[in-house]
Structure 1
Amino acid sequence: MNRKPLRDITFEPVNKRAWRIKSQITRARILHATKAAIAVGLAWTIAPYLPGVADNYPYYAPLGAIVSMYPTLMGSMKNALQTLGSLVVAIVLAGAVIVFSQPNVATMSIAVGVGALIASTGWFGGNREYIPVTVLFVLIIGGPDADAYSIGYLEQVSLGIVVGLLVNILIFPALSLDAVGRQLSNYRVVLADHLSEVAKALAESWPPELDGWASRKDALVSVSREVRAAVLDADDSRKANPRARLHRRDLGADYDDLAALEAVTFHVRDLTDVLAGAVWGTSIDIELRPELRPSLSVAIDAVSALLRDWDSDAAQRATHSSATAAVASLMKELAERRDSAPATSIGGADAIAMDLARILAALSFRVEQPEAIEDPG
């Protein structure tokens, strides 16, 4: 077989639709930044009015506002509690140094080391670094007034956190439910486009001139990760969010769709590897008989159409039947050829056919009473 060396392959750029996942991210980030700016301004304005020693440390209030500004309300609350917890632990460690000894190189080092050890437990999330840093702040900046400094520091940060949470709740709390539908749709289009290109490669002259699909299989994993992150973010954004009562979405169904598409991605990458092995001998060296390529192309294209018709119940039933028939026909043809052909010349087509059958099985929950595909062999 005349195989094209991998080094001679010119890869096409990734389909732009694979990266249209960020349709509203810019707007969301602008809103988030605006809310953070408002929270910082309000915290700085209110900080001098706190009673007692706190008014000596107003610059810590904006810090509290910033750490409480998280993209989701639940994330903001969790981040705020972790921040306060880390500050309390740090103040206790610094206080222990002052009560039982005195600040010097040895005691500060020990306190910072213990703080770093506690931080490493992960109990305080991304705010764990506040523990050793705050220990130093209290012992070095607070000095002889460490108790007043600790109280003022904690009060001002708490003020900033309260301000940040209120701003986050009152000004369009982030709710990213709508973006999930768009990103899942984009995911399906990316998979369908990939399969369509593979089908075209099988239908053209051999070895195929279209070769972008060979490198694009790794991009499918990146898209999958981004979509999963978006679904998890949407789930987190609705928790404790008053807007979630007005904008409802069945995220359970979205998780089911995502799991199915991730399974599809696995089998799409697998059949891509098989085909690349048949064309260029990369990763694995597989023979793919010329007379089997048209049937493989038809079956792959039919599965691609099923992904495109995902959102239409009527069209999906029709395309599912067509895809089931195409894959069943392919398997029947393979079974008929097994007795007259060497196993090595059928193995590649068998592997692709099984991947297609498993893709249909992964998508079967979308169709009422799906038809089962049986391997006649």
Structure 2
Amino acid sequence: MSEQSPFDLPEGDPFGPHTLPYGVFSTAAEPAVRRLGVRHGRYVLDLSALPEPLRPAHAEVLAAPTLNPLLAAGRPVWTEVRAAVRAALTDPAHRPAVTPLLHPLDDVTLHLPFDVADYVDFYASEHHATNVGKIFRPNDAALPPNWKHLPIGYHGRAGTVVVSGTPVVRPNGQRKAPTDAAPTFGPSRRLDIEAEVGFVVGTPSTLHEPVALESFRDHVFGVCLVNDWSARDIQAWEYVPLGPFLGKSFATSVSAWITPLDAFDDARTAPPARDFPLLPYLDDTAAEPGGIDLRIEVQINGETVSRPPFASMYWTAAQQLTHMTVNGASLRTGDLYASGTVSGPGRDQLGCLLELTEGKGPFLQDGDEVTLTAWAPGPGGARIGLGEVTGRVLPAPAAP
């Protein structure tokens, strides 16, 4: 029986010619050499080796060991490269030249696809924010008074963003339950996940010049899945009055694949109805639909525990980008910002264990493996895939 051609994808494969996500890989033959690649089914196309007739202009950005030069090149180049890659993979005339450049996915090592400049995490799901508010502040209003006026967020630690497959070491820190007389120090006992969607900035902006809603596509290159691991006991003790710090900064996992923003054109959807008019800089009533119909699945040790719907998010990625820069803060190539935990109204749509267990646990145990996957509807019934995010929990190191 002959081996199936890498160009003949199984029906419903979410990594077909309408998806074409970018990543960075190395081969067993040259483990120290990092190359830009595009995923096609279960294969990776080596972009750095495209022959002259198939190379787009500005091909030098494809020879880099990271996506950052391509990110910085801007939307016209993103469009040109994507069209050239699609032609290389779909035109039968190119198959003799392209076939030797396709590496089986199982034979390569995947790396963090871009150098992360800054990392910001938002809190954009009304369902998640309400559920968490009831758990953390049972005697107060679930949502703070500013929540429906602006996208709440915090600056995270870019240096601890890691690629899918990287083990996550249980963090040590201070913990204090409400019934404890004083804080104690040791491994987190309430290690949690947060199923999120990330947005990767390509084109930078100028200091003191806010980015308007309609400029979203000019700056955001692509989309990825994010697991913003959280130590709930450390977080609960430290977050008043300044918010998340050590309970979040120990690890944030991202996919090895960045799916271009343009791949989701058929999945754009209107966000939920707002309770009252927004301030003009956030008012998106006349803009293109800002939501994305992403269907996420959360598995722990191979068992599906939740299917959070990204279409339910109250704040959109465009509003988050605009709010992030409205004070004059500038964007840098490689900035990553995440949606915050994605949760829907249903019991089977909650994006973290804190919500799934109503704060009672159990939380993650050493050895547990968490995997996030997602897809969105594409043209003609196709599925648009996001690369998975997987991480296994390792025991905490010895306390200092």
* Fold match (TM-score > 0.5): no
* TM-score of the pair, normalised by structure 1: 0.22
Higher relative contact order (CA 8 A, sep 6+): 2
Query: Whose strand proportion is higher, 1 or 2?
Result: 2
Higher Cα Rg, which structure: 1
Query: Whose helix proportion is higher, 1 or 2?
Result: 1
